Amino acid sequence: MQTLVLKKRTIIILLIVIIIISSIISFTTIKTSIPKLDYTILIDAGQGGIDGGSVGKTTGKDENFLNLDYAKTLKSIFEKFNFKVRMTRTTLDGLYDITSKNKKKSDMEKRKNIILQSKPNVVLSLHMNSFPLKSSRGAQVFYKKNDVSSQSLATSIQEIFLKNLPLAKTTPQTGDYYILNCSNIPSVIIECGFLSNPDEERLLITEDYKNSVCYSIFLGFLNFLSKS
């Protein structure tokens, strides 16, 4: 019990230090000697293979590529602070069985198996949004209805989004999605922005904005831990 209390205190102190440092210098210059923490983060890059997802109207960048790019950046941030990270995919290929008649179902079942085998503490599924109304924009987090832990995780990330990202949605929303329902692990879907909005599309493909989104997710996770 004492060890668990000390770990939680370490996380809270880490949160405070990072927030203070981030207001002074770029996150990319931060070095740390923080001891390895007993938390595993599962990062799920949505789409893959023949399922390219949404496509930016201006740049032609698809969701498959951007989800993976953001996932790799987020992974490097967590690892920089000595968290253990697992990913559902590390290439642009889909996870489905190539011989499967229902590749979407095959892909999602593979993601579920990876999640269950990895036994992570949280699942962060990254996506890019799209909507017929081009004016729609803003990062948004989704969680499973009546799942208190997932709601806390989603709220913690959305709070940081609201502080750091232009026009982020005010509150997280519930969603009935396979990746949220396939386990009892605290899980969220993070829609990083709208590729259907030309202005946000241009932001989403930049290195600076990608870093802002990913560091905001990381701070949101620490925010979640500080409340746990």
Structural domains of the chain in order of their starting residue, each with its CATH number: 37-227 (3.40.630.40)
pLDDT tens for each residue of 76-115: 999 998 899 999 999 999 888 888 889 889 999 999 999 9
Q: Would the pTM count as exceeding 0.85?
A: yes
Q: Which distant-in-sequence residues (6+ apart) come within 8 Å of 132 by Cβ?
A: 196
Residue with tokens 């982020």, as numbered in its chain: 168
Most confident range (mean pLDDT) of 19-23, 36-40, 150-154 is: 150-154
Q: Using the predicted structure, report yes or no on whether residue 13 has a pLDDT greater than 80.
A: no
Binned at pLDDT 50, 70 and 90, residue 188 comes out as very high
pLDDT at 132: 86
Give yes or no for residue 22 having a pLDDT over 70.
no
Read off the pLDDT of each residue in 193-204 and give the average, rounded to a whole number.
94
Q: Report the pLDDT averaged over residues 29-42.
A: 66
Residue 12 reports pLDDT greater than 60: no
pLDDT tens-place string over residues 41-90: 999 999 987 887 888 888 888 899 999 999 999 999 999 988 999 999 99
Number of Cβ within a 10 Å radius of residue 103: 18
**174: β partners:** 143
Q: What was the pLDDT predicted at 34?
A: 53
Range in 36-40, 159-163, 215-219 with the lowest mean pLDDT: 36-40
Q: Provide DSSP, the chain.
A: -HHHHHHHHHHHHHHHHHHHHHTTS-GGG----PPPPS-EEEEEE--BTTB---B-TTT--BHHHHHHHHHHHHHHHHHHTT-EEEES-SSSS-SS-TT-S-HHHHHHHHHHHHHHHH--SEEEEEEEE--SSTT----EEEE-TT-HHHHHHHHHHHHHHHHHSTT--SS-EE---HHHHS-SS-EEEEEEEETTSHHHHHHHTSHHHHHHHHHHHHHHHHHHHHH-
Residue, of 26 and 151, whose pLDDT is higher: 151
pLDDT score for 61: 86
> Does 15 have pLDDT greater than 60?
no
**Cα–Cα nearest to 104, from 175, 177, 54, 50:** 50
The overall average pLDDT reported for the chain is 87
Report the pLDDT value the prediction gives residue 8, as an integer from 0 to 100: 57
Confidence band of 9 (pLDDT split at 50, 70, 90): low
d(CA 79, CA 75): 6
